[in-house]
């Protein structure tokens, strides 16, 4: 299962690095998205920072598995928020399916690395 986790960590890590960077820098797509979802623009920045932190933790987790569990949990919880946001504005399943799929992948990584969570610094 280790190689599956690493592949998912790399895919999720780089994907959320790009998404988080776009949110923090205010790309047109993300600004329009947050307007569509009726969310304040400052929350776009917060969401971007959370995504960047989660993505970096996933990538660090390639070598330190406890970080993979924490990063996946951060991304997974963020994905739940994204799914609820899409549902709140009654977006179609097609619009919601990407974040749903990414959230499922994040929780798969979390459960694969759950046993290493006790090694996370501060636990």
Closest CA to 119 of 76, 71, 73, 64: 64
Give the per-residue pLDDT at 116.
92
Count, residues in the chain: 123
Nearest residue to 62 via CA among 11, 121, 6, 4: 6
Using one digit for the tens of pLDDT, what is the confidence trace for 51-76?
Answer: 999 999 999 999 999 999 999 999 99
Cα–Cα distance measured from residue 3 to residue 7, given in angstroms and rounded to the nearest whole number: 6
Is the pLDDT at 47 greater than 90, yes or no?
yes
The pTM of this model reads 0.93
What tokens were used for 77?
Answer: 């919880």
Q: DSSP code of 96?
A: H
User: How sure is the predictor about 86, in pLDDT bands with cuts at 50, 70 and 90?
Assistant: very high
DSSP conformation class of 103: H
């Amino acid at each position: 299962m280790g190689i599956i986790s690493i592949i998912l960590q790399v895919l999720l890590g780089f994907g959320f690095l790009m998404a988080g960077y776009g949110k923090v820098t205010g790309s047109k797509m993300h600004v329009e998205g947050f307007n569509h979802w009726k969310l304040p623009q400052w929350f776009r920045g917060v969401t971007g920072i959370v995504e960047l932190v989660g993505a970096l933790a996933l990538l660090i987790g390639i070598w330190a598995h406890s970080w993979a569990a924490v990063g996946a949990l951060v991304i997974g919880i963020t994905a739940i928020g994204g799914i609820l946001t899409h549902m709140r504005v009654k977006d179609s399943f097609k619009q919601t399916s990407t974040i749903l799929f990414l959230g499922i992948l994040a929780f798969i990584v979390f459960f694969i690395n759950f046993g290493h969570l006790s090694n996370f610094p501060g636990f």
